């Protein structure tokens, strides 16, 4: 790992409570077609989340600006994954969602400013985990896919920072201790990542 990549990843690795288990990396290496299909799904969902925030919070210029950029980038990543799938003969078939994002969102407050802060914090966590996984996976993949995943690291790291910055900005008005709330969500995320999972997905836990 070069110095620039190490500098990019250090804050994210310090932010997350755990690293991706070796068992997941091994499963990803052995299930690259499924990995790509679910990766495409994740990019679509990330763009959808950003768009939903833009529709719901039209009175927040900074949120609109950051989410607009994020949605465009996620849709570009989706296009790039689909193109990779085409060149590799991978069919874009439907797969069930993992428990990961749904389990995190189930912990979110359901209304008001607290819900917004939770949504942004969960977004930061998901983007950070995605960045960490791309970097962890790259050394185990062929040159084309490894290069592509490394090319995503900078934007994923910025998405994590944008979500976290927005959550921190809106937390005081919501009466939320952002650091305390963040640590609660990060602990739950680490449990999802490290515990056994019955199915392999981009954000699944350690495969059984």
Q: Return the bridge partners of 179, or none.
A: none
Tell me if 126 sits within 8 A of 101, measured CB to CB. yes
58, with CB counted inside 10 A (0-12, 13-18, 19+), is: exposed
Of residues 96 and 65, more confidently modeled: 65
Helix (H) or strand (E) holding 206, with range, is strand 206-207
Q: Is the pLDDT of residue 5 over 90?
A: no
Phi, psi of 207 (to 5 degrees): -65, 145
Rounded Cα–Cα distance for residues 93 and 194 (Å): 27
CA angle 68, 74, 76 (to 5 degrees): 105
Rounded Cα–Cα distance for residues 99 and 51 (Å): 22
Straight-line distance from the first to the last Cα atom of the chain, in angstroms, rounded to the nearest whole number: 29
Rounded Cα–Cα distance for residues 133 and 115 (Å): 27
Predicted confidence band at 193 (pLDDT cuts at 50, 70, 90)?
very high
| CB contact set of 56 (below 8 Å; sequence gap of 6+) | none
Q: Is the pLDDT of residue 183 over 80?
A: yes
Phi, psi of 98 (to 5 degrees): -75, 170
What mean pLDDT, rounded, does the chain reach? 94
Top mean-pLDDT range of 69-73, 102-106, 174-178:
69-73
Q: Is the pLDDT of residue 1 over 70?
A: no
| Residue range 91-139, pLDDT digits in tens | 999 899 889 999 999 999 878 899 999 999 999 999 999 999 999 999 9
Q: Is the pLDDT of residue 55 over 80?
A: yes
pLDDT at 177: 95
- Over residues 181-203, the mean pLDDT reads 95
Q: Is the pLDDT of residue 208 over 90?
A: no
* Residue given tokens 């995503």 in the structure block: 152
Q: In this structure, which topology does domain 21-207 adopt according to CATH?
A: Ferritin (1.20.1260)
| Residue range 28-39, pLDDT digits in tens | 999 999 999 999
Number of H helices, E strands in the chain: 8, 2
């Amino acid at each position: 790992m070069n110095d620039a990549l190490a500098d990019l990843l250090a804050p994210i690795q310090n932010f997350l409570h755990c690293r991706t288990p070796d068992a997941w990396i091994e499963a990803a290496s052995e299930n690259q077609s499924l990995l790509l299909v679910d990766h495409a799904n994740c990019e679509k969902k990330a763009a959808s989340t950003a768009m939903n925030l833009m529709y719901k919070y039209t009175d927040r210029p900074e949120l609109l600006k950051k989410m607009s950029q994020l949605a465009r980038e996620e849709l570009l990543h989706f296009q790039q994954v689909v193109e990779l799938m085409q060149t590799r003969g991978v069919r874009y078939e439907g797969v069930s969602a993992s428990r990961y994002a749904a389990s995190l969102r189930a912990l979110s407050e359901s209304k008001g400013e607290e819900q917004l802060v939770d949504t942004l914090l969960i977004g930061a966590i998901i983007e950070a985990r995605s960045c960490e996984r791309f970097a962890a996976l790259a050394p185990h993949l062929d040159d084309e896919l490894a290069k592509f995943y490394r090319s995503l690291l900078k934007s994923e790291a910025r998405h994590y920072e944008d979500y976290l910055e927005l959550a921190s900005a809106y937390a005081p008005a919501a009466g939320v201790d952002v650091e305390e709330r963040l640590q609660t969500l990060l602990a739950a995320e680490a449990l999802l990542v490290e515990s056994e999972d019955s199915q392999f997905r981009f954000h699944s836990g350690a495969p059984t």
